[in-house]
Structure 1
Amino acid sequence: MSMPTTQKVQDVVKQYRPAKHFPSSRDDTHVTSLDFDDQGEFLVAASDDDTMQIFDVREGKKTKTIPSKKYGIHLARFTHHSRQVLFASTKQDDSLRLLELHNESFVRYFTAHTSQVTSVALSPANDTFLSCGNDDLVCLWDLRSRSPQGKFKLVTPYLAAWDPSASVIAIASQSTQSILLYDVNNFDKAPFATFDLQEAERKYAPSTQGRAWTKLEFSNDGKYILLGTDFHGHFLLDSFEGDVKAFLVGKTDGTGRAAPVSNSGKPLGQGDVCFSQDGRFVFGGTGGQSDLLVWDTNSASNGHLDPLVKLQSRGIKTPIVQANPRFNMLATADTKVAMWLPSDQTKSSDT
């Protein structure tokens, strides 16, 4: 696998293909989350066999497997220090843990949640991060302190995201069908804006209102908010007014993942949709099929938006999707992790 490039995304977006994939140690092991470090050089994958895998993107190889058998692991996220990973426990308690990769030791525990953590979001500017939980709790943390800097209760606040300026926090509450925006400097005050999606869900997804919201993300120019769902499609919202700019269609069915809240018998997930590196495009899975869809936000027209292209995945399922922040590269995962590159760079192989 050759090194990913930094060409304009629009020049290569139709050319992505799986370049290399890494099977799990067992066929019944599922990857539950993916994340790249800030420089796009490392990838971390959390799995439901209570391990995390670290990949070197430049080399196209797995470099380390770290067990967390006692606590479990989900929502593994690089901090701004590429040798540290923050993750949510799935066993024993509901703490978050900061791990030093070099010596595989814990730096700090973060304890406040009393039920499963459903979202972990790092500030783009500093060592502050957000967590949401199935206990209806939202917490604002600093990586240097084990106690939250602030917290409040909200009905089903399952997803959180930061805007690119790190001054605005978005919280998605699926059962109330709303996204709430907070000023990070007034975290303990009421939201300064509330985007009510009840009418939009009634229009675009009437049979699944208030259910299975899986992903919340700002585009890197701050113009859009992406709200992923596990049913008929995804919502592209104006981040200032909350208007639905497009409903992204093309997905055939659900992923079979319990994102963000665990259901008996379903592996966890983090959603199967994300913005491209430049914020113009959206990548997403097809559901039960194995391919990857791409939507062009420049074509949004306040209605249904069909995919620009369907990328062939060569039979690799895509219930977890993450774009590299620096290079023309994607990662998807199910029982195996796949690295995607533009086709002129690919030479598909198993590792």
Structure 2
Amino acid sequence: MATPMDDGQAPLPVTQRVQDVIKTYRPSRQFTHIVKGQPVESHVTSLDFDDQGDYLVAASADETMHIFDVKEGKRTKLVPSKKYGIHLARFTHHSREVLYASTKVDDSLRLLELHNESYVRYFTAHTSQVTCITLSPGSDGFLSCGTDDTVCLWDLKSRNPTGKLKLATPYLAAYDPSANVMAIASQSTSSILLYDVRNFDKAPFSTFEMMEWEDRFTPSTKGRAWTRLEFSNDGKSILLSTDYHGHFVVDAFEGKVSVFLTGRSGSTGRAAPVSTTGKPLGQGDACFTQDGRYVIGGTGDHPDILVWDTHQAVEGRHEYLQPISRLPSRGIKSAIVECNPRYNMFASADTKVCMWLPSQETRDGEK
């Protein structure tokens, strides 16, 4: 069930610069969770766009996967995974294939062909819960992390890992835009490890110690869960999201925190990436925009979306960065946020999926 939230504007703006529209985003369409024709309240646990930005996949705690056509603004497919569960649904470089983690029976990863809803391949190596899946931007390789203290390197064409790393709590991972560097975040050691993808079996070429920065910026909530690790598209910054007071933007070369993003009012109520409390899972409520300049994210207890300008931090050399804008959500909570890689739009979710577009009315009013 799609509910028009604005004027139902359909054509996605592709020519405007992000900086020209970033403050004008508004909820456009909201999708109620539907199972067998009936609305159901279930927490969305992950969101992902395909490479072309044409499709969005949402995994839900009720063990279903939902596919949305972004240009048409409608849901096109619902795929159940009741036997194995589903989390961290990710498009491959083919928009008709989705990779996801099992949440019960076993801890394998599954590659699903959407057209006929058949499995192409299973990937078996983890012995406990998978906490992160990230696709290489330059190949069919991907990484997975798990609570079995392992990071597995894979190729989509093979069911067996091409490599393994044994690390302490490697719950999050990310590739840099060149696909030559992989970053792995270890919560228990408060560190981010950088590896050369071609020499992953060697020691990390750099280790960013985060304990000092946690002491400085989050002393009262030190040890709160890290929820997302992401490179900016120019490879110069790393976003390390947390589940409470704010997020760290780290210099990807020096390992120093260039700025701490503030303004949140509390937790999203999600457990990420590891659930030990029975809370629904989540993948983090902050991410870089397509141009890598801005970070958008939820406010925690409040439903609005915050926007931070990281260039402002560089120019003003501020350690704490307040948001430049608060986007009104009309009461729609955003426990998960994901930016479209090609179009000026993003998606958020809690128990419903919401698509956000720049509002023409708002842009005209600001001129």
**TM-score normalised to structure 2 length:** 0.93
Counterpart Cα distance in 2 of 1:265 and 1:244: 32
Aligned counterpart, 2:57: 44
Aligned counterpart, 2:200: 187
Counterpart Cα distance in 2 of 1:264 and 1:225: 28
* Amino acid in the other structure paired with 1:5: P
RMSD: 1.0
Counterpart Cα distance in 1 of 2:181 and 2:145: 16
User: Could you report, residue by residue, the CA deviation over 1:50-91 in whole angstroms, capped at 9, with x for unpaired residues?
Assistant: 000000001000000000000100000000011000000011
Task: Report 1 or 2 for greater relative contact order, CA contacts < 8 Å, sequence distance ≥ 6.
Answer: 1
Counterpart Cα distance in 2 of 1:210 and 1:130: 24
Which structure 2 residues correspond to residues 99-138 of structure 1 after superposition, within 5 A? Answer: 99-138=112-151
Counterpart Cα distance in 2 of 1:345 and 1:155: 50
Q: Does 1:158 align with 2:171?
A: yes
Unaligned runs of 5+ in 2: 1-8, 363-367
Give the secondary structure class of the aligned counterpart of 1:118: strand
Q: Does 1:15 align with 2:27?
A: no
* Amino acid in the other structure paired with 2:254: E
Counterpart Cα distance in 1 of 2:328 and 2:102: 34
Which structure 2 residues correspond to residues 140-179 of structure 1 after superposition, within 5 A? Answer: 140-179=153-192
Alignment equivalent of 2:254, drawn from 234, 241, 249: 241
User: Could you report, residue by residue, the CA deviation over 1:213-254 in whole angstroms, capped at 9, with x for unpaired residues?
Assistant: 000000001110000000110000110001111000001101
Aligned counterpart, 2:91: 78
User: Could you report, residue by residue, the CA deviation over 1:112-138 in whole angstroms, capped at 9, with x for unpaired residues?
Assistant: 111110000000001000000011110
* Amino acid in the other structure paired with 1:79: T
Percent identity over paired residues? 69
Aligned counterpart, 1:316: 332
Runs (4+) off by over 4 Å: none
Aligned counterpart, 1:29: 42
Counterpart Cα distance in 2 of 1:345 and 1:223: 35
**Contact map agreement 1:318 1:332 (CA 8 A) in 2:** yes
| Distance apart, 1:211 and its partner CA | 2.8
Q: Does 1:281 align with 2:294?
A: yes
Aligned counterpart, 1:3: 11
**TM-score normalised to structure 1 length:** 0.97
Counterpart Cα distance in 2 of 1:190 and 1:302: 34
* Amino acid in the other structure paired with 2:25: Y
Give the secondary structure class of the aligned counterpart of 1:291: strand
| Distance apart, 1:152 and its partner CA | 1.4
Aligned counterpart, 1:67: 80
Counterpart Cα distance in 1 of 2:286 and 2:224: 16
Counterpart Cα distance in 2 of 1:112 and 1:345: 51
| Distance apart, 1:27 and its partner CA | 4.6
User: Between Structure 1 and Structure 2, how many residues are aligned?
Assistant: 346
Which structure 2 residues correspond to residues 292-311 of structure 1 after superposition, within 5 A? Answer: 292-300=305-313, 301-311=317-327
Give the secondary structure class of the aligned counterpart of 2:20: helix
| Distance apart, 1:315 and its partner CA | 0.4
**Contact map agreement 1:32 1:46 (CA 8 A) in 2:** yes
Which structure 2 residues correspond to residues 88-99 of structure 1 after superposition, within 5 A? Answer: 88-99=101-112
The structure-2 alpha-carbon separation of the partners of 1:345 and 1:31, relative to structure 1 and needing over 3 Å to count, comes to farther
Counterpart Cα distance in 2 of 1:344 and 1:66: 35
Alignment equivalent of 1:272, drawn from 255, 270, 285: 285
